Amino acid sequence: MSSDDLSASEIAQAVAGRKISALSATEAALARIARYNPVLNCFTDITAERARAKARAVDAAISAGQPVGPLAGVPFAVKNLFDVQGLATRAGSKINRDLKPSPRDATLIERMEAAGAVLVGALNMGEYAYDFTGENVHDGPSRNPHDLTRMTGGSSGGSGGAVGGGLVPIALGSDTNGSIRVPSSFCGIFGLKPTYGRLSRARSFPFVASFDHLGPFARNTSDLALAYDAMQGPDPDDAACATRPVEPVAPSLAQDIGDLRVAIAGGYFQQNVFPEAVEAVARIAKALGTTRIVEIPEAARARAAAYVISTTEGASLHLDRLRRRPDDFDPAVRDRLLAGAMVPAPLVDRAQKFRRWYRARVLELFKTVDVILAPATPCVAPKLGQVTFTLDGVELPVRANIGIHTQPISFIGLPVVAVPVPLEPMPIGVQIIAAPWREDIALRVAHALERMGVVSAPQPRGL
C-alpha cells in the first residue's frame, strides 16, 4: 500500500493497522516535497531527520503494543511563524533569520506530535503575516498548485500550496484577517479558523495579538476535524487561550444538519464580488435549501476598524525593528507598518469601541440562525504580480482587497470553516460562519456539503 493518495485519517488507520509504517508514510511525503517543492515553493525548511526519528518512534510504539494517537504517522507541516525546536522562527522575514534557534516547539506542534503526527517542515508565508497574496520578497512566492502562474493567497500561502498540492495532508497556519481562509479559497482546500482563544498560540510569532488565530488546513473535513481535536485544550502559556475543556468534533461530524438554521450574508457580502464568488455561495445555499438572507450590520465599518487595529498593533510590535533595520523589510510591509505607527490614538479608541458594539450586534443574529454563508474571497486566485482588479466597476489594489469578506468576521473572532467549491478553471472558497465555540456546527455543515459532493478539494492541475 502507498500513502501517496491517502488522507490523514487513512494514513493513521493504515499505520495503526500495520498496513504501512509511519516511516514509509514519512519517506513518501519527503519524496513528494523533494519533487514538487521546487515548483510550488511551499517549504522554507525541511525537517527530514527529525521526521524520520519521530516516525520510527511511532512504529516502535506500535510494535510494542503501546497506544498511538489518532494521527499516527501522519505527515504535517507548519507556517514558519510557529516555533520549531532547532530552527529560527522566520515569520516570513529576513530579520528573524538572525534569531537563535527555538529551544522548544509551539504548543500546537507538541499536541499534533502527541497525537502521533510527524512534522516534516516549515512553510513559506508573507512577511510577518502582513500579506494576502503569498508573495514573499525574501523566499519567493508560493505558487498555486492548480495554476503555477497564480497566487496561493496569504499570509499562510505555503500552507495552502502544500496541502492543495498534495505534499502533506495537513498543515497549520494562522489567520488574523483572513490568512487561513484566503489560501483555502485560492488553493481549493478546507481551512478552519477557530473561535478566538480556542487554540493556543504559545510559541508562535504574533502579528495582531487581539486578532491572531491558529488553525489547520486539510483536503477533507474528517482530517480537519482530527487535527482540530488533537490541538484543543487550555494552555497557560497563552493568556488568550480559553480555559474550556477539549470538546471533540470528529465523533459528531456526520450528525444530521436538517434542524440547523442557515442564512446567507446579504448586503456588504453580496457586493464587490466576481461572478464565481456569487456562483459558489449560490451552489452551497441551494444544497442546504436556504434562501434566507441576513444583514451583518456595519460590516464595511468593521473592515475599516479591523484595518486600524491591525496596522497600529502591528506597528507597535515592530517599532524597534523598523528603527534598526528598515531596509531589511519588504518595502510594502514596512510602509504599512510605518503608516500604522502614525494613526492617532483617538481613532484606535473609536475602532475598539465600535468593535464591542459590532460584536454584540452580530451575536444577536445567532439567536435566530446557526450558520451564515459568505464568500471567502471576491475572486479566484489572481495572477502572481497582479496589482489591481476591478470590483463593481472600480479598479482596486489586489493586496488590500482580497480579504474584503474575511476581515469583518475575524475582527470579532467567530469560528469559520472555509470550504472549496471546485469551479472551472479554478476553485474558490465559501465561509461557513458559526457562533463562538460552535466549530462543531460549522464542521458538520461542511461535512454534509462534502458528502453531497457540493464541496471538495480538486486534484492539483498545475503539477
The DSSP H or E segment spanning 431 is strand 428-434
Query: What are the pLDDT digits (tens) for 336-362?
Result: 999 999 999 999 999 999 999 999 999
Q: Which helix (H) or strand (E) element contains residue 141? A: strand 140-141
- Position 2 scores a pLDDT of 65
Which of 215, 265, 218, 216 lies closest to 456 in space, CA to CA? 218
Q: pTM for the full model?
A: 0.97
Contact assessment for residue 454 and residue 421, using Cβ atoms and an 8 Å cutoff: yes
pLDDT tens-digit map of 422-448: 999 999 999 999 999 999 999 999 999
Q: What are residue 415's DSSP bridge partners?
A: none
Strand partners, 217: 171, 191
Tell me the helix, strand and coil percentages in the chain, rounded to 5.
Answer: 40, 15, 40
Find cell 468534533 and name the residue. 249
Spatial distance between the Cα atoms of 179 and 176, rounded to a whole number of angstroms? 6
Residue-wise pLDDT for 206-238, tens only, equals 999 999 999 999 999 999 999 999 999 999 999
Using one digit for the tens of pLDDT, what is the confidence trace for 156-207? 999 999 999 999 999 999 999 999 999 999 999 999 999 999 999 999 999 9
130, 183, 187, 309 from 336: Cα distances, Å: 9, 21, 26, 12
Cα gap 460→463, rounded to integer Å: 6
Q: Phi, psi at residue 139, to the nearest 5°?
A: -105, -5
Residue for grid cell 506542534? 109
Split at pLDDT 50, 70, 90, the class of 462 is: confident
CA-based nearest residue to 414, from 353, 366, 349, 447 = 366
What average pLDDT does this structure show over 402-411? Answer: 96
Query: What digits encode the pLDDT tens for the residues 278-308?
Result: 999 999 999 999 999 999 999 999 999 999 9
Exposure of 456 in the CB half-sphere (CA atoms within 13 A): 10
Nearest residue to 460 (alpha-carbon basis) of 170, 144, 43: 144
DSSP characters over 189-219: -EEEE--TTSS--TTB--S-TTT-EEEEEES
- What is the percent of the chain with per-residue pLDDT over 90, rounded to a whole number? 97
Q: Residue 391: is its pLDDT beyond 90?
A: no
| Angle, CA of 116, 122 and 124, to the nearest 5° | 145
Task: Determine the Cα–Cα distance for residues 11 and 71; give it in Å rounded to an integer.
Answer: 8
pLDDT tens for 95-144 read 999 999 999 999 999 999 999 999 999 999 999 999 999 999 999 999 99
Whole-angstrom distance, CA of residue 277 vs CA of residue 264: 13
DSSP for 162-179 reads: HHHTTS-SEEEEEESSST
Residue with cell 475602532: 351
The tally of CA atoms less than 13 A away on the side-chain side of residue 167 is: 34
Query: Which are the catalytic amino acids?
Result: 79, 155, 179
Q: What amino acid is encoded at 57 in this protein?
A: A
Q: What would the pLDDT profile of 237-279 be if each residue is shown by its tens digit?
A: 999 999 999 999 999 999 999 999 999 999 999 999 999 999 9
pLDDT for res 343: 96
Query: What does pLDDT average to over the chain?
Result: 97
Residue range 48-87, pLDDT digits in tens: 999 999 999 999 999 999 999 999 999 999 999 999 999 9
Please list, in sequence order, all residues whose beta carbon lies within 8 angstroms of the beta carbon of residue 423, skipping any fewer than 6 positions away: 276, 279, 280, 380
233: left (phi over 0), alpha (psi -120 to 50) or beta: left
The residue assigned the cell 476591478 is: 390
What residues have CB less than 8 Å from 260, skipping those under 6 apart? Answer: 370, 371, 441, 444, 445
Res. 1: pLDDT tops 70: no
CB 155 within 8 A of CB 108: no
Residue 349 CA to residue 174 CA, distance in Å, equals 26
